[in-house]
Amino acid sequence: MNALLEKHTKDIEDILKKYPEDQKRSAVMPLLYVAMRENGFVSKQDMYDIAEIIKVSATQVASIVGFYTLYHDKEGGKHRVQVCNDLPCALRGSGEYLEKLCENIGIKVGETTEDGLVSVESVMCLAGCDKAPMFQEQNPDGVFYHEDQTVESTLELIEQWRKQEAK
Amino acid sequence: MSKVDKHILLRHHEIPDIANIKTYQADGGFETFRKVVSTKMDPVELKNIVHDSGLRGRGGAGFPTGLKWKFVDDNNWPHYLVVNADESEPGTFKDREIMEKNPWQFFEGIMVSAYAISANDIYIYLRGEFWELAHVLDEQIELMKKEGLLGKNLFGTEYELNIFTHLGAGAYICGEETALLESLEGKMGQPRVRPPFPPAVGLYAKPTVVNNVETLANVSLIVEKGANWYRKFGTEKSAGTKVFSLSGRVKNPGNYELPLGTPFRELIYEHGGGIIDDRPIKGIMAAGASSSIIVADDKALDTPMDYESVPDVGAQLGSASVIILDDTVDMSWLINKTTHFFKHESCGKCTPCREGAFWMTSLTERIRSKKGTMEDVILLEDVAKNIKGKTLCALGEFSTEAVLSAIERFPDDFDAQVNK
Can you give the CATH number for the domain in which B286 is found?
3.10.20.600
CB pairs under 8 A between A and B: 139
Give yes or no: residues B259 and B357 share one domain.
no
Q: What is the pLDDT of residue B22?
A: 97
| A128 in any annotated domain | yes
Cβ-Cβ contacts under 8 Å, A128 against chain B: 93
Residues A153 and A83 in one domain: yes
Regarding whether A98 and A28 lie in a shared domain, the answer is no
Question: Are A87 and A56 in the same domain?
Answer: no
Q: Do A62 and A84 fall into the same domain?
A: no
Q: Do residues B155 and B208 both lie within one domain? A: yes
| B225 touches A: beta carbon within 8 Å | no
A86 has a chain B CB within 8 A of its CB: yes
**Within a domain: residue B217?**
yes
Please name the member of A23, A64, A126 whose beta carbon is closest to the beta carbon of B204.
A23
In single-letter form, the type of residue at position A8 comes to H
Give helix then strand counts, H and E, for chain B: 18, 9
- Sorting pLDDT into bands at 50, 70 and 90, what band is A68? very high
- A23 belongs to a structural domain: yes
Domain count, chain B: 3
| CB pair distance less than 8 Å for B189 and A92 | no
Share above pLDDT 90 across residues of chain A, in percent, rounded to a whole number:
96
Please tell me whether residues A85 and A161 are part of one structural domain: yes
Q: Is B159 helix (H, G, I), strand (E, B) or coil?
A: coil
**Nearest CB partner across the interface for A87, out of B95, B167, B337:** B337
Query: Shortest CB distance from B87 goes to which of A56, A127, A142?
Result: A127
Side-chain-facing half-sphere of A1: CA atoms under 13 Å: 2
Residue B1 lies in a domain: no
Report chain B's mean pLDDT, rounded to a whole number: 96
pLDDT of residue B420 exceeding 80, the answer is no
Q: What is the pLDDT of residues B265-315, one digit of tens each?
A: 999 999 999 999 999 999 999 999 999 999 999 999 999 999 999 999 999
Q: Is residue A74 part of a domain?
A: no
Q: Is A140 left (phi over 0), alpha (psi -120 to 50) or beta?
A: alpha
Which chain A residue shows the shortest CA-CA distance from B169? A70
**How many angstroms away from the CA of A69 is the closest CA of chain B?**
5
Q: Using CA atoms, how far apart are residues B413 and B401, in angstroms rounded to an integer?
A: 17
Are residues A18 and A43 both part of a single domain?
yes
**Percent of residues, chain A, with pLDDT higher than 70:** 100
What is the CATH classification number for the domain harbouring A91?
Answer: 3.40.30.10
Range of the domain at B287: 241-326
Residues B65 and B96 both lie in one domain = yes
Residue B6 forms part of a structural domain: no
Residue ranges in B218-330 assigned as alpha helix (H): 219-225, 227-231, 264-265, 298-301
- Whether A28 sits inside 8 A of B186 (CB atoms) is yes
Q: Which helix (H) or strand (E) holds B337?
A: helix B331-345
Is B416 touching A (CB cutoff 8 A)?
no
Q: Is the pLDDT of residue B1 over 80?
A: no
- Give the pLDDT confidence of B354-373 residue by residue, as tens digits: 999 999 999 999 999 999 99
Last residue of a domain, one of B280, B310, B326: B326
What is the spatial distance between Cα B228 and Cα B222, in angstroms, rounded to a whole number? Answer: 9
So what's the pLDDT on residue A167? 82
B90/B219 same-domain check: yes
CB contact under 8 A, B91 and A136: no
A116 is a domain residue: yes
Q: Are residues B292 and B377 in the same domain?
A: no
What is the CATH number for A62?
1.10.10.1590
Query: Residues B117-169: pLDDT tens digits?
Result: 999 999 999 999 999 999 999 999 999 999 999 999 999 999 999 999 999 99
* Residues A104 and A134 grouped into a single domain: yes
Q: Is A27 on the interface with B (CB under 8 A)?
A: yes
Q: Are residues A95 and A52 in the same domain?
A: no
With 0-12 / 13-18 / 19 or more C-beta atoms within 10 angstroms meaning exposed / middle / buried, residue B172 is buried
**A57: contact with B, CB 8 A cutoff:** no
Residue A130 in domain: yes
Q: Are residues A54 and A18 in the same domain?
A: yes
Tell me how far apart the alpha carbons of residues A88 and B156 are, in angstroms, rounded to a whole number: 50
- Same domain flag for A35 and A91: no
> Taking CB atoms and an 8 Å cutoff, what residues of chain B touch A142?
131-132, 135
Residue A7 pLDDT class (50, 70, 90 cuts): very high
Q: What pLDDT score does B395 carry?
A: 94
Same domain, yes or no: B190 and B65: yes
- How distant, in Å, are the alpha carbons of A85, B90, B180, B270 from that of B246? 17, 11, 26, 12
Q: A116 in contact with B at a CB cutoff of 8 Å?
A: no
B234: DSSP letter: B
Same domain for A87 and A63? no
The Cα of A98 is separated from the nearest Cα of chain B by a number of Å equal to 15
Query: Within a domain: residue B137?
Result: yes
Shared-domain flag, residues B210 and B260: no
Position B263: which residue type? P
User: Using the beta-carbon criterion (under 8 Å), do A124 and B341 form an inter-chain contact?
Assistant: yes
Instruction: Annotate B32-74 with three-state secondary structure.
Output: HHHHHHHCCCCHHHHHHHHHHHCCECCCCCCCEHHHHHHCCCC
Residue at A109 is within a domain? yes
pLDDT-based confidence at residue A99 (cuts at 50, 70, 90): very high
CATH code of the domain containing B126: 3.40.50.11540
Q: What is the mean pLDDT of residues B77-82?
A: 98
Mean pLDDT within B394-412: 96
d(CA B349, CA B391): 9
Q: How far is CA A7 from the centre of its chain?
A: 21
Same domain, B79 and B206: yes
Interchain CB contact of B59 with A (< 8 Å):
no
Same domain, B214 and B247: no
Q: Choose among B125, B97, B242, B217: nearest CA to A147.
A: B97
Cross-chain CB nearest to B185 (options A25, A130, A142): A25
Whether residue B274 is found in the same domain as residue B407: no
pLDDT at A14: 96
- The confidence score (pLDDT) of residue B6 equals 86
At residue A38 the predicted structure's pLDDT band, cuts being 50, 70 and 90, is confident
Q: Does residue B221 carry a pLDDT above 90?
A: yes
pLDDT bracket for residue B3 (50, 70, 90)? confident
Inter-chain touch B186–A20, beta carbons under 8 Å:
no
Range of A130's domain? 79-166
Residue that is last in its domain, among B274, B296, B326 = B326
Regarding whether B300 and B266 lie in a shared domain, the answer is: yes
Residues B217 and B252 in one domain: no
Q: Chain A partners of B361 at a C-beta cutoff of 8 Å? A: none
Q: Does residue B236 form part of some domain?
A: no
Count of structural domains within chain A:
2
Lowest mean pLDDT among B1-10, B86-95, B406-415: B1-10
Region B24-30: what's the mean pLDDT?
96
Domain finish residue from B230, B265, B296: B230
Residue A93 lies in a domain: yes
For residue B420, being part of any structural domain is answered with no
| B75, amino acid identity | N
Cis (ω within 30 of 0) for the bond into B196?
A: yes
**Mean pLDDT value of segment B25-37:** 97
Q: Does A110 touch chain B (CB under 8 A)?
A: no
A83 and A59, same structural domain?
no
**Sequence-separated (6 or more) residues with CB below 8 Å from residue A8:** A34, A37
**Would you say residue A72 lies in a domain?**
no
Confidence of residue B393 (pLDDT cuts 50, 70, 90): very high
Q: pTM for the complete prediction?
A: 0.97
Collect all residues of chain A within an 8 Å Cβ-Cβ radius of residue B92. 125, 127, 129
Q: B384: domain CATH number?
A: 1.20.1440.230
Cβ-based contacts of A20 with chain B (< 8 Å): 204
d(CA B387, CA B356): 6
- From A116's Cα to the closest Cα of chain B, the distance in A is 23
Region B54-77: what's the mean pLDDT?
Answer: 96
Which letter does DSSP use for residue B278 in this model?
G
